[in-house]
Amino acid sequence: MEEVLRLLPEGVKRIIQNFSQNDKESMEEIRIRINRPLEIMMTGKPVFPLLNGSEYYVSKDDAAQMLNKLSQYSLYALEEELKKGFVTIQGGHRVGLAGKVITTNGHVKAIRDIASFNVRIARQKLGIATPLVSYLYAGGWMNTIILGPPQSGKTTMLRDLTRIMGEGDEMRRIQSSKIGIVDERSEIAGCVKGIPQHRLGHRVDVLDSCPKAEGMMMMIRSMSPDIIVVDEIGRREDSEAIIEAINAGIQLVVTIHGHVMEDLYRRPSIQELIRSGVFERIVELSRSDGPGTIKAIKDKTGREIRRKKVM
């Protein structure tokens, strides 16, 4: 939270500091939009905080200050980030940007006149993947797919699983593994200048904002990982790279968008992967009891080996 506060314009900072420690803990997003009231998302609900009895309207100056601090007064250093539309800051938090978009030949070149900032506060949920361990580990980690709709906590789950794999677990006599993360959207490790900001263990190497298929091949060739971790696969090249990695004797842990395992058979680029049975475990997530609810864990034939108890 300190890292976020340092970034905020003075006016907004003062308001946030007025919140109690508890409220600060529950903040998920701080939304700053020019000429519109400051909005804070707390446990899924929008809050428009008051200052002296009225909503705080964000001024142009506030936005300029925010951008200055975000870029360390050096906008030219943010070129790549302005193209992608977000900046990852220290602590793995992420600031989304919106405004006037400049294009060349129909491709986004940069965002100029930034009018909206969305500060998404990253909170690593340590231990969220612990219940999975006994199903995914049997003498070695199994190739695993984490499946779930958006906002079901796939990436959070993947991150914690990565941490457990990277740190090992003395109690269960699981040794730590060398892990290669191909982090195309900088979400798993939340890197700043290539250094992971989340706790992932000491044996993790990250290819930050690298295209997945190419990144997997690079990892195989140069970094000799035991396990490769990739977020949101789905394209044909990804599947090819996965087959390549598995043939090289590397274990894979990936996430895919989808609700249930049957969905995967309908996606041409992925169905072959599933049919060939290289993935031994499929973890289905849902958001029915909040993000990160484990709905089912299945083996490669689709047989459930654990079902969430119905209460």
Please tell me whether residue 286 adopts helix, strand or coil conformation.
Answer: strand
CA pair distance 255, 145, nearest whole angstrom: 5
Out of 5, 18, 55, 79, point to the residue binding another protein (CB under 8 A).
79
Query: Which range in 76-84, 148-156, 176-184, 257-265 contacts another protein by CB under 8 A?
Result: 76-84
Task: Tell me whether strands 281-286 and 144-148 are parallel, antiparallel or unpaired.
Answer: parallel
Q: Is 62 or 184 the residue whose CB approaches another protein more closely?
A: 62
Out of 73, 103, 150, 309, point to the residue binding another protein (CB under 8 A).
73
Query: Which range in 37-45, 59-67, 222-230, 241-249 contacts another protein by CB under 8 A?
Result: 59-67
CA pair distance 182, 229, nearest whole angstrom: 6
Out of 25, 55, 61, 289, point to the residue binding another protein (CB under 8 A).
61
Please say whether the beta carbons of 128 and 153 come within 8 A.
yes
Q: Count Cα neighbours of 72 within 13 Å in the Cβ-side half-sphere.
A: 6
Q: Is 76 in the site for another protein (CB under 8 A)?
A: yes
Q: Where are the alpha helices (DSSP H) in the chain?
A: 2-7, 10-18, 21-26, 60-71, 79-84, 130-136, 154-167, 212-222, 236-247, 261-265, 268-275
Out of 15, 75, 174, 223, point to the residue binding another protein (CB under 8 A).
75
In the range 179-238, which residues lie near another protein by CB under 8 A?
none
Q: Is 75 or 218 the residue whose CB approaches another protein more closely?
A: 75
Q: Is 62 or 160 the residue whose CB approaches another protein more closely?
A: 62
Out of 26, 71, 118, 124, point to the residue binding another protein (CB under 8 A).
71
Q: Is 7 or 264 the residue whose CB approaches another protein more closely?
A: 7
The contact pattern for another protein, residues 94-123, with x = CB under 8 A and - = no contact, is: ----------------x-------------
Closest by CA position to 206, among listed 192, 195, 214, 198: 195
What is the closest distance, in whole angstroms, from the C-beta atom of residue 64 to another protein in the complex? 7
Buried b (16+ CB within 10 A) or exposed e, 4-14: beebbbebbbe
Out of 74, 103, 105, 301, point to the residue binding another protein (CB under 8 A).
74
Q: What token pair was written down for 15?
A: 């308001």
Closest by CA position to 302, among listed 165, 147, 130, 157: 147
Applying CB under 8 A, the residues found at the interface with another protein are 61, 64-65, 68-69, 71-77, 79, 110
